Amino acid sequence: MTVLLGRGECGGHVTLLFTVSDAATDPIEQGSLGAGLCVADGIEVVAYGEAGEFGLKVAFDGGEGDPGLYERVLDLLVTEVPEAAGIAWEISVRLALPVSQGFGMSASGAIAAALAFQRAMGLPHEESLRRSYSLAHKAERERSTGLGDVTALAAGGVERRLAAGAPYHGALLLSGPGRAEGWSCATPIVLAWRPDAGKHTSDYIDDPDWKRSISQAGADQMQALSRGEWDISRWTELLDSSKRFAEDSGLLADSSRVGLLSSVDDAMRECGIGEETVALLCMLGESVAIVPSDPQSGVDWCGSMVEALERTGLQAMTTEVGRLS
**Shared domain check, 140 and 33:** yes
**Shared domain check, 154 and 192:** no
**Shared domain check, 192 and 173:** no
Q: What are the pLDDT digits (tens) for 282-313? A: 987 789 999 999 999 998 999 999 999 999 99
> Pick from 147, 179, 211: which residue ends a domain?
179
CA 99, CA 93: separation in Å to the nearest integer? 12
Rounded to the nearest 10 degrees, how much is the dihedral formed by the CA atoms of 324, 242, 251, 321? Answer: 30
**Shared domain check, 21 and 165:** yes
Contact 177, 163 (CB under 8 A): yes
**Shared domain check, 144 and 33:** yes
**Shared domain check, 144 and 18:** yes
In degrees and rounded to multiples of 5, residue 159 shows phi and psi of -115, 155
Q: Has residue 124 been placed in a domain?
A: yes
Q: What are the pLDDT digits (tens) for 124-150? A: 999 999 999 999 999 999 999 999 999
Residue 124: how many other CB atoms lie within 10 Å: 10
> Pick from 154, 179, 204: which residue ends a domain?
179
Q: Has residue 325 been placed in a domain?
A: no
Rounded to the nearest 10 degrees, how much is the dihedral formed by the CA atoms of 62, 67, 73, 79? Answer: 150
pLDDT of residue 298: 92
Residue 88 bridge partners (DSSP): 50, 55
**Shared domain check, 266 and 124:** no
- Return the axis-axis angle of helices 105-120 and 125-143, rounded to nearest 10°: 140
Position with higher pLDDT, 207 vs 22: 22
Q: What are the pLDDT digits (tens) for 193-206? A: 998 755 656 677 77
**Shared domain check, 213 and 83:** no
DSSP secondary-structure letter at 87? E
Structural domain including 251 reads: 188-320
Q: In total, how many domains does the chain have?
A: 2
Q: Which of 128, 88, 104 is nearest to 18 (CA)?
A: 104
Q: Has residue 215 been placed in a domain?
A: yes
Q: What are the pLDDT digits (tens) for 150-194? A: 999 999 999 999 999 999 998 899 998 999 999 999 999 999 999
**Shared domain check, 212 and 95:** no
**Shared domain check, 238 and 160:** no
Burial class (CB in 10 A: 0-12, 13-18, 19+), 244: middle
pLDDT of residue 284: 77
Q: What is the pTM of this model?
A: 0.96
**Shared domain check, 153 and 274:** no
Q: Has residue 51 been placed in a domain?
A: yes
Q: Has residue 14 been placed in a domain?
A: yes
List the CATH number of the domain containing 242: 3.30.70
Contact 146, 104 (CB under 8 A): yes
**Shared domain check, 256 and 221:** yes
Contact 149, 136 (CB under 8 A): no
Q: Has residue 173 been placed in a domain?
A: yes
Containing 263, the helix (H) or strand (E) segment is helix 255-271
Confidence of residue 208 (pLDDT cuts 50, 70, 90): confident
List the CATH number of the domain containing 101: 3.30.230.10
Residue type, 247: E
Contact 182, 38 (CB under 8 A): yes
In degrees and rounded to multiples of 5, residue 148 shows phi and psi of -115, 10
> Pick from 179, 199, 224: which residue ends a domain?
179
Q: Which of 68, 263, 104 is nearest to 198 (CA)?
A: 104
